[in-house]
C-alpha cells in the first residue's frame, strides 16, 4: 500500500467505534443492536490476553485459532478493509492445521486499490506462520476471478445449511 494513511494491522478493541461492523454490513447481515459491552465481551473471548491477536487453543502452546486483519484509513479513523483467518486443527496429515479465510470485505469507496489483496496476503502469511498446510476460502461465483488474482484456485463445491 503506497498510501501512508492506509494501515494494515490486527483488529483492535477500539475498531468497533471506527466502523468495523458497518464495513461487515457491506458483506452480510450484521446485528446493529449489539451493545458496546457485548462487542467488547466477544473481543475478549476471541483475544483473552491483552495485546494478543490470536486465540490460543486450550492446553496447547503456540497453537492459535483466529486472526482478524483490518485496514484503517487513519486520516478518517475508519476501518475500510478486513478479513478473518480461522485455523482448524485436523487429525489428518499428522494432525496438521488448515486455514479458513472468511469475512473479506473492502469499503465500496476504497475498492480497486488492492486492499482486498493485502488483507488476503496478510491472512496467508499468518496461516503459513501457524503451520497450515492449506487455506480454504469460500466465495460467490462473481468473486472467483478476484480470488484467483490473489493466488487461490477453484476446488470442489461448497455446500451450506443455515440453522436459524
**DSSP element (H, E) containing 4:** none
Domain contains 163: no
Domain contains 74: yes
Domain contains 66: yes
Q: What would the pLDDT profile of 134-162 be if each residue is shown by its tens digit?
A: 999 999 999 999 999 999 999 999 899 99
8 Å CB contact between 46 and 56: no
Range of the domain at 63: 6-149
How are beta strands 78-89 and 132-137 bridged, if at all? unpaired
Let me know the angle formed at the C-alpha of 14 by 25 and 19, rounded to the nearest 5 degrees.
Answer: 25
Radius of gyration of the chain from its Cα atoms, rounded to whole angstroms: 16
Distance CA 35, CA 112 (A): 33
Domain contains 12: yes
Q: Quick one: pLDDT at residue 51?
A: 56
Domain count for the chain: 1
Q: What is the CATH number of the domain that holds 29?
A: 3.40.630.30
The maximal CA–CA distance of the chain, rounded, in angstroms, is 47
Q: Which of 148, 99, 102 is nearest to 127 (CA)?
A: 99
Domain contains 132: yes
Owner of C-alpha cell 460467490? 140
Domain contains 43: yes
Domain contains 155: no
Backbone angles phi, psi at 99, to 5 degrees: -95, 145
Q: What is the pTM of this model?
A: 0.88
Distance CA 18, CA 144 (A): 29
Distance CA 74, CA 104 (A): 20
Q: What would the pLDDT profile of 82-121 be if each residue is shown by its tens digit?
A: 999 999 989 999 999 999 999 999 999 999 999 999 999 9
Domain contains 164: no
Amino acid at each position: 500500500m503506497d498510501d501512508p494513511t492506509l494501515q494494515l494491522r490486527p483488529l483492535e478493541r477500539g475498531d468497533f467505534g471506527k466502523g468495523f461492523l458497518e464495513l461487515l454490513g457491506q458483506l452480510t447481515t450484521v446485528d446493529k443492536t449489539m451493545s458496546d459491552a457485548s462487542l467488547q465481551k466477544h473481543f475478549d473471548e476471541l483475544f483473552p490476553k491483552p495485546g494478543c491477536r490470536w486465540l490460543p487453543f486450550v492446553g496447547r502452546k503456540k497453537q492459535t485459532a483466529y486472526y482478524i486483519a483490518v485496514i484503517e484509513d487513519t486520516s478518517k479513523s475508519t476501518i475500510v478493509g478486513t478479513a478473518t483467518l480461522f485455523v482448524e486443527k485436523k487429525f489428518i496429515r499428522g494432525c496438521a492445521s488448515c486455514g479458513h479465510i472468511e469475512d473479506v470485505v473492502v469499503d465500496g469507496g476504497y475498492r480497486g486499490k488492492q486492499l482486498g489483496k493485502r488483507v488476503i496476503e496478510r491472512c496467508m502469511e499468518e496461516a503459513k506462520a501457524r503451520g497450515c498446510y492449506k487455506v480454504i476460502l469460500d466465495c460467490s461465483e462473481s468473486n472467483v476471478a478476484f480470488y484467483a488474482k490473489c493466488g487461490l484456485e477453484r476446488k470442489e463445491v461448497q455446500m451450506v445449511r443455515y440453522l436459524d
